[in-house]
Amino acid sequence: MGAIISIRNLIKEFKGVKAVDGLSFDVEEGTITGLLGPNGAGKTTTIQMLLDLILPTSGCIRIFGKEYPAGREEILGKLNFSSPYVGLPGNLRVHENLLTFGRLYGVRNLRAKIDSLADYFEIREFMDKLTYNLSTGQYTRLNLTKALLNDPKLLLLDEPTASLDPDIADRTRQLLKRIQQERGVTILYTSHNMQEVEELCDKVIFIQRGRLKDEGTPAELVRKYGREDLNDVFLHIARTQ
């Protein structure tokens, strides 16, 4: 397995303040990797640089062995993104949203693809609903459906279970596991739920103040820091200057 994402000495400065400060890490193909850190650590900035929404000040990002801007079309065609904080147009019906994004990704046999995903994520019953009328759980499933439309090799997920009740959050975690196991998708995701991270992730990357603080499997980090669980490790790292 090779690195699907490779970041080297990444720096992002906003008006003299370094939001990301010399970050380097790899994300291996076929793994679920958690990008963790306290608020303001630089997680969102890093994710947005991975998506070419923010331009780095310096450093190198390679995804599928390609770099922005030359490889933009190829990179973005093979990845997808989902976040509860980013809405799909609420004034479109569910199937209209999926048709729009399917076309944007140039998905072949789009209607058949949507049909199969509708069964996979159990969204068929609300395909004709306006998106802003969906419940939080339905919306999460729609977001994940949209995220799988182009059969991505890499999924970037920003707090996919934030603001979900425990039942829906658990179902979402099961779905993510299923996606990863059945489709071999590499997943990089951010979360503040350490229990969830321990359950899902093959590897975690801790960043603080824009720098890599530590990385490893959840079990390795728990052992290394001599703590009860990953939540304690998080608190320890976050409170250490």
Residue 38 preceded by cis peptide, ω within 30: no
- Considering only residues 147 through 206, tell me which ones interact with other proteins, judged by CB under 8 A: none
The HSE-up count of residue 196 (CA atoms within 13 Å, CB side) is 25
Give min distance, CB of 55 to other proteins, in A. Answer: 5
* Choice between 1 and 86, CB closer to other proteins: 86
Among 33, 46, 80, 190, binds other proteins (CB under 8 A): 80
CA–CA distance, 198 with 201 (Å, rounded to integer): 6
- Residue 225: CB atoms within 10 A of its CB come to 16
* Choice between 51 and 127, CB closer to other proteins: 51
Q: What is the DSSP letter of 89?
A: P
- Residue 133: CB atoms within 10 A of its CB come to 12
Q: Who contacts 211 (Cβ-Cβ below 8 Å, separation ≥6)? A: 21, 22, 23
Among 9, 53, 60, 181, binds other proteins (CB under 8 A): 53
Give min distance, CB of 66 to other proteins, in A. Answer: 12
Q: Are 141 and 121 in contact (CB under 8 A)?
A: yes
Among 11, 54, 162, 212, binds other proteins (CB under 8 A): 54
Among 91, 166, 182, 240, binds other proteins (CB under 8 A): 91
Establish if 232 lies at the interface with other proteins (CB under 8 A). no
Kindly state the tokens that stand for 241. Answer: 């200057």
Establish if 105 lies at the interface with other proteins (CB under 8 A). yes
Among 25, 64, 101, 139, binds other proteins (CB under 8 A): 101
Q: Are 45 and 221 in contact (CB under 8 A)?
A: no
Give me the residues that bind other proteins (CB under 8 A), please: 12, 14, 19, 45, 48, 51-55, 72-74, 76-77, 79-81, 86-93, 96, 99-106, 146
